[in-house]
Structures are given as structure tokens and as C-alpha cells.
Amino acid sequence: MNHPRLRPAAVASAAAVVIALGLTGTAQAATPATPAGSAQRIGDDPDQPDNPLYDAPEGFYVSSGRESVSLSWGSLSAATRYEVYRAEAEGTEPDEVGPYSLLATVPTSTYVDSDGDADVSYAYKIRALDDAGHVSPYTEPIRGTRDTVAPFAPRDLTLAREDARGVTLTWRTGDSDAVKYVLYRSESPNSRRVKVGSTTSLTYRDTKGDPGLMYSYDVVGVDAVGNESRPSNLVNGTKTVTDSTAPKAPALGNAQLVGKRLSLSWTQSPYVPVSSYTVYRSKTSPVDITAPANRVATTTRPEYTATVSEDEGERDYYYAVVATTQHSVDSAASTSVKPTYTAPRPPSATQFYEVKPGAGSVRLSWYIPASGSGDPAVTGYRLYRSTQPDVTKDNAEFTHATSDSAYLDSGLTGGTKYYYRVATVDEDGRESALSPEVSATPTS
């Protein structure tokens, strides 16, 4: 059976009664002495009889940060609010704490102090209250700081090893309060720094860099609240390229289908030499490069052009490219891309820039028009002539096809005025609109 546990005051009172009876035969209660340093319980404090808040809140915790100091503690069932006190802590000893002042009264068991001066050490304590006016003892003070001071920079960053697995670096702490280190790299001293990773040790191996590409590295220290030091010195390092190193996947950028003219182009990282590229296609994405039927062609240049069927089904294919080294090591496949389809259009028109009559002849010259990206190439021109103005393709009395941008029209009748227009012709046989009309009269 469980028996109620007597408080020390009750035990002392009982002993006093026994002593009194033994000496005089009359029960006389003696005043009990309270042991030094004993905690007060309900009824012990004459100023707060039956105080339910006889203990300070437990689990008091203070966490320093850059923007604030966070406080938390265990809640008491009898408490309805808590008082938070703060004092400047000038030294490390308890008597080196300035006078406490009430910072806030809160209904919960947490508080965030964001008003303290930066980098000033404060001591915090709390106590609980209820609606009847009872208060608990204070917690033991705990210190906290809104820490904005960065640690010292790590020193002597050194390249320890370069191999096919990566770049290994080591450094010294710099006698700082850093709890971890963050490694950064860039492709040149002036380019954007990229975070590689973090560690709590004084060494790190970067396995993620591109083989053959020289990186510049630096390391910073980070303290417990997240303040980051200035960078260390820079060192350069390169992941080694070997016969078994795979190149990066090509970056397939341009993919166009203009009528039946397919054009693809891509870029390739130059740090692992590539000897060829293989183009794949399928009607699903991503393209399955393991299926032999999906293989389209192999090329040594970072581009591919082809004439495909004009069937609408040709517009449904996705394309991907794989790079291969001279040691037959393949890259991963590029992103699968469906070419942008554009309906075929006639080539751009041109115009004459010189018309020169001669004896029984007229020499004509015209501009070579520019071709748009993915457009069929211009392969020739068709000249139209008539002795009547307003020459058209239908009423022309003479036509001549040529691959040159000039033509000598001979065998003409002197004194007769001739009218000319010219059209551009592309490799698919499409003609442009006719040029502006010009005229000339040859001499006899």
C-alpha cells in the first residue's frame, strides 16, 4: 500500500510532541526548524500559503542566434503566465551580471528576444505566475547572445590530391569558433562561386566537378549560429581525365523541322575530347538509346541535317544525342527534344543592283538573299524577260535558270526595250516572289 509522504515540517512536529510528553507528561508542540537550503513547498512560505508554484519551471533553455535569442522551458500546470527577465552579463561569474529587468510577460513557454544589442552577452531567467497571485522561484540564469560576429577565415587551403575520383583539399581552422566549413568553387577567379558541400572536418573531396575542367576553390568557416567567415585563400584543382572518363552529355539546343528539312545542333563540353556523336529518335520521350531501331546517324560534328518525309508523322519524333570518346566511352544522352515544326515557305526575294546594256546584249546582276535558320539553302535563280512591261511568270517571253547571281543576256535586237525580273530558287525547288522590274535597251 502506498502511504502519503510527510513533509519535513510535519516530521519535525511529531518528534517534538514525543519529546514533550516524555519530559512533562503534557503534549507541547515545539517550533520546527527549517533545514538550511531546503526548498519551500505548499504552506512553507508564510507570504504565499498553499502556493502551487513551489518549484521553478524546469528545462530552461537558451539558444543564441544571429537575429535573436530564443528561450524555452517546461510549462507548469498551475501557471497562467511567465515573466522573462534579462540582465547584461559583463563577465563570466554570477556576480558580474547587471541588474535584471522585466523583459516580457507571456502566456506560453517560449519567448524570442530580438531587441537585445548585437554581440552583447545577456543573462536570462524566468518565473511562473498564476491568477491567484502566486509566483514560483526563478530559474537559474542562462546566458545568450545575438551573435553577429563571423569566425576567422580558415587558413592555408591546400590542394592535397587530384585524381579521377575528384579534387581533395585540406586547410587549418584559423583559430576560430567555426563548427563547420563550406567549400566553394568557380570556373575562374572572377566567375560566380558555387557551393560544393560542407564538412565538420578539415578536409574535403569534390567528386562532382567536370573532369578536365580547372576550378578555383576556397573555404569558409561557419559558427554555431550561421555566421560565415571571409573566404580562405584560393587554390586550383582539376579532376583527372582518364581513358575511362565519360564526357558530359551534349546540350541539344537547336531542333527545327522546316517542311521536310530537319536540322539539329548542340554544344559539347571541351574538357573530355569527343570523337563522334550518335543521333537517336523515337516517338516517346525520353528517347530509348538502348534500342538499335532508334539509332539514326553518327556524325563527327556537333550538328545534323537531313531531309525527311513530308508525312505529318515526322513531326512527332523526339531526338537525343550521345557523345563518344576515342576510347569508346559514351556520355549520357542529351535531353530529348521534339523539333519545332515550321511550314515550308518560299525563299526570300532578291533585286537587281546593276543593269548594263551593250551591243545586242544586257548584263544583269542581283543580290544574293539571306537564308533564315533552318530554311532550305538558295541554290539558283530564274530570270524572266519580256518586251512588254509588267513581266510575270506566265507572260514572260524568255526564262533562264542559273546558279550565278549575274547573267549576260545576248542575241538581243538593238533599239528594243526589254523588261526583266528575277526569282530566287531553293534546294527544294521553291521559287520566291519576283524581284522589282527593271528595263534596258541594247545598242545595235
Q: Are residues 291 and 365 in the same domain?
A: no
Terminal Cα distance for the chain, rounded = 143
Q: Is 37 left (phi over 0), alpha (psi -120 to 50) or beta?
A: left
Q: Which of 75-79, 92-96, 100-104, 325-329 has the lowest mean pLDDT?
A: 92-96
Burial tier of 76 (Cβ tally within 10 Å: 0-12, 13-18, 19+): buried
In a domain, 55, yes or no: no
C-alpha cell belonging to residue 385: 524577260
171 located within any domain: yes
pLDDT at 33 over 70: no
Same domain for 364 and 431, yes or no, is yes
Residues 373 and 323 reside in one and the same domain: no
Helix (H) / strand (E) containing 386: strand 378-386
- Output the nine-digit C-alpha cell for 330: 559514351
Residues 78 and 4 in one domain: no
Distance separating alpha carbons of residues 181 and 161, to the nearest angstrom: 19
Domain for residue 226, yes or no?
Answer: yes
183: Cα separation from own chain's centroid: 16
Q: Quick one: 79 and 134 in the same domain?
A: yes
Find the Cα–Cα–Cα–Cα dihedral 336, 340, 341, 346, rounded to 10°: -140
Please tell me the distance from the alpha carbon of residue 1 to that of residue 408, in angstroms, as a whole number.
128
| Residues 266 and 333 reside in one and the same domain | yes
| Residue at which a domain ends, from 238, 260, 295 | 238
Is residue 368 one of the residues assigned to a domain? Answer: yes
Q: Does a structural domain hold residue 317?
A: yes
Counting the structural domains of the chain, the total is 5
Residues 88 and 25 in one domain: no
Does 263 lie in the same domain as 336? yes
pLDDT tops 90 at residue 36: no
Give 33's DSSP letter. P
Of the residues 83, 115, 145, which one is the last residue of a structural domain?
A: 145
Report the chain's mean pLDDT, rounded to a whole number. Answer: 88
Question: Are 77 and 137 in the same domain?
Answer: yes
Residue 428's pLDDT band (cuts 50, 70, 90): confident
Residue 45 pLDDT class (50, 70, 90 cuts): low
Q: Is the pTM of this model over 0.75?
A: no
Q: Based on the fold, state whether residues 199 and 260 are members of the same structural domain.
A: no
Q: Choose between 299 and 42: higher pLDDT.
A: 299
How many angstroms separate the CA atoms of 195 and 231, rounded? Answer: 12
Q: What is the pLDDT of residues 344-362, one digit of tens each?
A: 888 999 999 999 999 999 9
Query: 34 is in which domain, residue-wise?
Result: 1-38
> CATH code at 77?
2.60.40.10
Please, is 173 exposed, middle or buried when counting C-beta atoms within 10 Å of its C-beta (0-12, 13-18, 19+)?
A: middle
Would 112 be classed as within a structural domain?
A: yes
CA dist., res. 317 & res. 432, Å (int): 30
Task: Kindly report, residue by residue over 244-266, the tens digit of the pLDDT.
Answer: 999 999 999 999 998 888 999 99
Residues 25 and 94 in one domain: no
3-state DSSP assignment of residue 194: strand
Q: Is residue 150 part of a domain?
A: no
Whole-angstrom Cα distance, residue 368 to residue 354? 13
Domain boundary among 238, 268, 293: 238
Examine the domain organization and report whether 166 and 138 are in the same domain. no
Q: Write out pLDDT tens, residues 172-230.
A: 998 888 999 999 999 987 889 999 999 999 999 999 999 999 999 999 999 999 999 99
pLDDT band at residue 376 using 50, 70 and 90 as cut-offs: confident
